[in-house]
Amino acid sequence: MSQAVTFDDVWKMFQEVSAQMRETDHKFQEMVREDRERRAELDRRFQDTDRK
């Protein structure tokens, strides 16, 4: 026999999903920052190469 899902159960699941989403967003933002840094470095290298 299955148990009824309570508001507390749903709230706990919501909080867990919310925490996972924040973690995922943090990781995504970090990846975006690293990508921007790599592209900026690559642009600098191309500019240095063009000057030579």
Q: Which residues of 9-23 are buried (b: 16+ CB within 10 A; e: fewer)?
A: eeeeeeeeeeeeeee
- pLDDT per residue as tens digits for the range 17-47: 999 999 999 999 999 999 999 999 999 999 9
Split at pLDDT 50, 70, 90, the class of 51 is confident
The pLDDT score that the predictor gives to residue 38 is 98
The CA-to-CA distance between both ends of the chain, in Å, stands at 77
Provide the whole-model pTM: 0.67
The pLDDT score that the predictor gives to residue 40 is 97
